Amino acid sequence: MGLVRWTLLACCCCCWCCSASQRIATRATAIREHADEIIVAVDRIDYSGAEVTQIRSNAEAIREAVGDIHTALPGVTDRTPWWADLLRWLAIAAAGAAAVWLLTASGILGAIRAALGWIPKPKARAASLLAAAVDDDRPETTREAIAAMRAQDPEFDAAWRRAAR
């Protein structure tokens, strides 16, 4: 994969991964489970020295602290970093620009405009001039119609010059 694809993949992972509060809750639950395992293991030990009592009290303190985390967690709100918001808006803008370019390059946008009746004035004038050039009762000539088309569209003018050689 190219650098661009890896960069896009990294941006997607940063922007659309699970929330920080969800990760905190998951990790706190895992810590509580480990503390529970320590308490169960300490209870199985036949030796009742000061060290074992200290280990059990530390595990119980960890369980209590995890309970405090779970109590405080609903008050935590996730914040999206400014750069992730910027990346999201840039991606939306790029997708919009790509869609407009695709519609324009494929000709679909022109078809939509024609279907809705949004024909630009220069093209409408050129079409009426060509229609008049075809009509034998009108004085306009084909030469005038071609001149009007060349004046309105620089691409058509360049194509005309290349074809006239």
Q: State pLDDT tens for residues 1-49.
A: 566 676 666 655 555 556 888 889 999 999 999 999 999 998 888 787 8
Q: Evaluate the CA torsion angle 69, 74, 79, 84 in order and state its sign.
A: positive
Angstrom distance (rounded) from CA 27 to CA 30: 5
Q: Which of 88, 93, 152, 100 is nearest to 124 (CA)?
A: 152
Domain ranges of the chain: 3-86, 117-165
Query: By the 8 A CB rule, do 130 and 152 touch?
Result: no
pTM exceeding the 0.75 threshold for the entire prediction: no
DSSP state of 73: G
Q: State pLDDT tens for residues 53-75.
A: 899 999 999 999 999 999 998 88
